[in-house]
Chain A
Amino acid sequence: MTYTAHDPRTFYAAIDARLTSTINVGGSALSIGKGEAPADAATRTPYAVRYVLAEDDDPEARGDLADPHRGTLFSWQITSVGKTEDEVLWLMQKVRAALLGWTPSVSGLQCSAIEKDGGDRIARDDGVQPPLFRGVDTFTCFAS
C-alpha cells in the first residue's frame, strides 16, 4: 500500500507563473497575492489574489486500492480586484484565458486541463475606501 502526499506548492507555483507570464498590466506582470492582497495593492490595480481552497477529500473518487490518495483535485480561487467594474471584467477575462484548458506542467505530477468550477458576480466592496470592485472565479485541476 502506498500513500501519496502531493506537494501543492509546486502546483500553485506553476499557476502563479502562468498568470504573471501571460497577463500584463500597464507594462508590468500581473501582481498576484497569495492568500492576501499583494504588497503593492494600494498603488496598483487591477490585481489578483489566489486563495487555495480545500483539496477534494473524497479518496474513493480519487484513488485506488493500491494508493487511496494517488489522485487529487486541486481547487483554488482567483479574486480579481479593480477600481472599476471594467477593470475587474478585463482581468477576469485575462485570467480565464490564461488558465482555462491549459495543462500545467509540474514535476512529479500528471495534470489534467484546468476547468472553471464556479464563481461569484462582480460586487462593489464598500468595506474599503475608496470602494473597490471584486469578481471571483474558482478553478479545478485533477492531478496524479
Chain B
Amino acid sequence: MAKRTSRSQANIDITQLEGFQHRLENAAALAEVMAEDWQQEHGQRWVEEMKAIVPVSTGKHDRRISASEDIHLRDEIRQVEPGGITFGEAFWWRFLEYGTVKMSPRPFIRPAMKKIRTPARKDAIKRAVELIRTGRAA
C-alpha cells in the first residue's frame, strides 16, 4: 500500500506486502496436500457412484463374461491412490464399458464421472479460495 507523503513522493508500506507474500507461500505449501485430499475424497465418490450403477450378473452377457470367475466387478472397484482407480482382477470391465463385437456397451465409468464432476469442480474452487483467503486448507 502506498502512502502519499507529497505530490512527488510515495513510501511503500512493505509490511503489508510481506504479509501477503507469507500467505501466498503458505497457500503454495498447502496446495499439494489440499489437492491430494480433494482427489482422495472425490475419487472415493467416483468409486461409490460406479458401484451403484455397474451392471450386475443378471443378464446373459454378464454371465457369459464372468460366470467362470468367482469375482464380482462391483467388489473389485476401489481407489488405490488419490484419484487412482483399479478394477482388480475383473478384466472384463472394458467389455461392459465399451462392449464387444456382439454385446452393446453398458458404460458405468464415464456416467459415474459425469455425475461427480460438477460438484467436484465446485469443491475444488471453494477449497482453493479458502486456502488463499485464510492460508489454511478447508
The chain A residues found within 8 Å of chain B, CB to CB, are 35-37, 51, 53-54, 56-58, 60-61, 77, 79, 81, 118-120, 123, 125, 127-128, 132, 134, 136, 138
Determine whether B118 belongs to the interface, using a CB cutoff of 8 Å to chain A: yes
Q: Are B111 and A128 in contact (CB under 8 A)?
A: no
The chain B residues found within 8 Å of chain A, CB to CB, are 64, 94, 97-105, 107, 110-111, 114, 117-118
Residue of B94, B97, B101, B110 touching A128 (CB-CB under 8 A):
B101
Residue of A51, A56, A57 touching B99 (CB-CB under 8 A):
A51
Q: Are A51 and B104 in contact (CB under 8 A)?
A: yes
* Residues of A close to B103: CB separation below 8 A: 127
Known: A51-B104, A53-B107, A123-B94. A136 touches B99 (CB 8 A): yes
Known: A51-B105, A53-B107. A125 touches B118 (CB 8 A): no
Q: Are B101 and A134 in contact (CB under 8 A)?
A: yes
Q: Are A60 and B114 in contact (CB under 8 A)?
A: no
A-B pairs, 7 with minimum CB distance? A120-B98, A125-B101, A136-B98, A132-B101, A125-B100, A128-B101, A134-B101
Q: Are B101 and A35 in contact (CB under 8 A)?
A: no
Min CB distance B12 to A, Å, is 44
Q: Are A58 and B101 in contact (CB under 8 A)?
A: no
Q: Are B100 and A134 in contact (CB under 8 A)?
A: yes
* Residues of A close to B107: CB separation below 8 A: 53-54
Q: Are B98 and A57 in contact (CB under 8 A)?
A: no
Q: Are A61 and B118 in contact (CB under 8 A)?
A: yes
Distance between Cα atoms of A77 and B64 in the complex (Å) = 23
Q: Are A54 and B104 in contact (CB under 8 A)?
A: no
Min CB distance B129 to A, Å, is 19
Q: Are A58 and B98 in contact (CB under 8 A)?
A: no
Nearest-CB residue, chain A, relative to B115: A57
Q: Are A77 and B101 in contact (CB under 8 A)?
A: no
